[in-house]
Chain A
Amino acid sequence: MRTIFRVLALCLCVLLVAGVASAEDKKIKAGFIYVGPVGDLGWSHAHDLGRKFAESKLPWLESVFIESVPEADSARIIDRFIQEEKCDVVFTASFGYMDDTIKAGMKYPDKHFMHCSGFKQSKNVGTYFADLYQMYYLNGIMAGALTKSDKIGYVGAFPIPEVVRHIDAFALGAKATNPDAKVHVRWIYAWVGPDKAKEAAESLIAAGCDALAFTEDTPAVIEVGQEHSEKGKQIYTFGHYSPMQAYGVDSVVSGQLVDWGVMYVKILQSLYDGTWTKDDLYWLAAEDAAILGGDFDNIINPKFVADLKAAKVKTADFGEISTYDLVIKRYEQMKKGADVFEPFSGPINDNTGALKIKKGAKASKGDLLSIMYYVDNVVGSIPK
């Protein structure tokens, strides 16, 4: 009998110690909702790299994710993350999840939510975004210098402010080196649609474009550019979101890259420390969230460096310099801070001739987040 009591007492002690230990050992569980497959090589892939980075940096973090969640279906997944997975914070990484995330915030007042790329916050719902429009501007500088047909193409996912802002920034960049170049746009109405992106790229090339940028989460446009370049018709392409230079060594000039990892670490650390606020996090090149390059090792594909160095351009602040130097200098300015060089500096007209940003003025963050007009060297109109 005494031995049994001893064993019981020992067990209780062990349980007590374990209980105390777990109370001290604070953990955070984060759920991530992605709109595409994590293998899309674009948006969702980049977010998942960020999640993995955060998990490797933060020992107290546990994370789960669900991929390919349609934008209308996130409420169900949020419920599952909170109720079954017992997540403390849920990251909803697509614009269309916005209203469901706000609703979830009301439904679960003691949990935190972070919505990516939206503009609605509440007590426990914050927003975050790493925007790449500066990188699109830099790519536009290169596209303008390299194009021989003065026709530049852009394959867009959906006509929403984010993509329109990128098209405009790209067009403004092209205008800086080539005032005659026009940007032609095709919409594919899909974030992940390699076949559509491919057809759209082919139709742009058929229309005479020889430089292509895009917003679509696969290297489909790059593949088209590489194919044509191999056959002897040089098509310049600019990678999007993930390192894509390997898919088009003869075609990719540069591109935009994103690092969500630094951002996720900051957000999760603030939750852990209790310093979290709902304030919008809007990160650009200065925060190291937006990075220029076709992959993380090359800002500009070495194959095209000589061409860019040979192309001279007149600028107001640097005088006459090579396009290559202009890209590097502007990139350095952007890294110093968003206010050092703003691509959207007036005067800027839309393509119907209306003045949108006055001479000497700069676009505000609000202007940029709601932009829904084409600047004057983009062809056509935004579909309704």
Chain B
Amino acid sequence: MEDLIVSVAQRTLIAGTPLLIGTIGEVICERSGILNLGVEGVMSIGAVAAFVVTFYTQNLWLGLMAAVLAGMLISIIHAVASVSLQSNQVVSGLALTMLGLGISSLAGKPYVGKSLTEKMNTVAIPFLSDIPILGKILFVQSPFFYMAIVLALAAWFILEHTELGIKIRSTGENPKATEAQGINVSLIRYGCILVGGGFSGMAGANLSISYSKLWIEGMTAGRGWIVIALTIFALWNPMRAMIGAFLFGGIFVMQYLLQPLGISPSLLAMLPYMATLLVLVMIGIKDSKKLNAPAMLGEPYKRGER
């Protein structure tokens, strides 16, 4: 029984990690007022970049860096479209998803079925991993898990407790007033989109060099969409994103665990989206300001316009 609990909890954290990494990025991006629906595409780009670079250099950390860089680079498209050209963010985000998925399968074609010699293995933290049960669950994990936790805490601290965080948040709430304070709204938004892209790329790397070491087309498998749902579920807060990501990860693991009891996996697969709908309904009923939704989310900002 103890083995079962440890295994399920470990799997839950593993399944939730890429979701958490992606969600931190999307939270940062949306807090600055930019909706990025391109997460799925950017994640696939990150996955293929990490795999290919690791495949040739045998260095997992170089692969991770390549994924972050690739994610940032491809996100420039969304930044130019939504900030500089003030176009519809939904459209350019969706375009980014399609483009990313296409580039990823095209670039990955020669590597299909190929395997890395090594993947990012679990690291046991000394002393802490000796704690019974909890130690095995929390402190024998892939480096991606530890990084995700640290990054989530850092993102929360920066957004809520630093001047930069106030700038980002006010950009998302009221860009006109922010501009009047002498802050460059475009610069902030560009930065947030690129950082968000970097996180998505990292989430992709998590899948291709840590979760699995095989290149298989379409390995993001809709996680980018779950990230967007999670961002709303977490009410644009990196701390709540942590709970949400591992909850959604747990649901994924539970699909197969609860199957022998006659609970349909399709029903469980639906739950993350149901939960998000529920949160959206709550936002609709309650005062949306209290729920943290950036007021100007998805609205293009034209400088100097009244």
Listed in ascending order, the chain A residues whose CB lies under 8 Å from chain B are 37-41, 45, 184, 186-189, 192-196, 198-200, 202-207, 218-220, 223, 246-247, 379-381, 383
> With A189-B266, A199-B11 as given contacts, are A39 and B109 in contact (CB-CB < 8 Å)?
yes
Could you list 18 examples of A-B contacts with CB < 8 Å? A39-B216, A39-B217, A45-B113, A194-B219, A198-B212, A199-B15, A202-B256, A203-B11, A203-B253, A203-B256, A203-B257, A205-B7, A218-B214, A220-B214, A220-B216, A223-B214, A247-B115, A379-B260
- Report whether B265 and A188 are in contact in the complex, using a CB–CB cutoff of 8 Å: yes
Complex contacts, B187 vs chain A, CB 8 Å = none
- Report whether B212 and A39 are in contact in the complex, using a CB–CB cutoff of 8 Å: no
- Report whether A41 and B113 are in contact in the complex, using a CB–CB cutoff of 8 Å: yes
Q: Which of A200, A206, A223 contacts B212 (CB 8 A)?
A: A223
Complex contacts, B218 vs chain A, CB 8 Å = 37, 192
Query: Does B221 belong to the interface (CB within 8 Å)?
Result: yes
Measured in the bound complex, the distance between the Cα atoms of B219 and A345 in whole Å is 41
Measured in the bound complex, the distance between the Cα atoms of B207 and A37 in whole Å is 19
Measured in the bound complex, the distance between the Cα atoms of B218 and A195 in whole Å is 10
A46 to chain B, nearest CB (A): 12
Nearest-neighbor residue (CB-CB) of A45 within chain B: B113
Complex contacts, B253 vs chain A, CB 8 Å = 199, 202-203
Measured in the bound complex, the distance between the Cα atoms of B259 and A188 in whole Å is 10
B12 to chain A, nearest CB (A): 10
- Report whether A39 and B112 are in contact in the complex, using a CB–CB cutoff of 8 Å: yes
Query: Does B162 belong to the interface (CB within 8 Å)?
Result: no
Q: Give residues of chain B (188-224) contacting chain A, Cβ–Cβ below 8 Å.
A: 207, 211-214, 216-219, 221
Measured in the bound complex, the distance between the Cα atoms of B4 and A206 in whole Å is 6
Measured in the bound complex, the distance between the Cα atoms of B9 and A202 in whole Å is 12
Measured in the bound complex, the distance between the Cα atoms of B252 and A203 in whole Å is 11
Complex contacts, A206 vs chain B, CB 8 Å = 3-4, 7-8, 257
Q: Which of B7, B105, B216 contacts A202 (CB 8 A)?
A: B7
Measured in the bound complex, the distance between the Cα atoms of B113 and A379 in whole Å is 33
Query: Does B129 belong to the interface (CB within 8 Å)?
Result: no
Q: Which of B112, B252, B264 contacts A199 (CB 8 A)?
A: B252
Measured in the bound complex, the distance between the Cα atoms of B257 and A194 in whole Å is 17
> With A39-B109, A199-B255 as given contacts, are A189 and B265 in contact (CB-CB < 8 Å)?
yes
Measured in the bound complex, the distance between the Cα atoms of B219 and A364 in whole Å is 40
For the A-B complex with A39-B217, A195-B221, A381-B262 known, give 12 more contacts whose Cβ atoms are closer than 8 Å. Answer: A37-B218, A39-B109, A39-B216, A45-B113, A184-B260, A189-B266, A193-B221, A195-B211, A199-B11, A199-B255, A206-B257, A220-B216
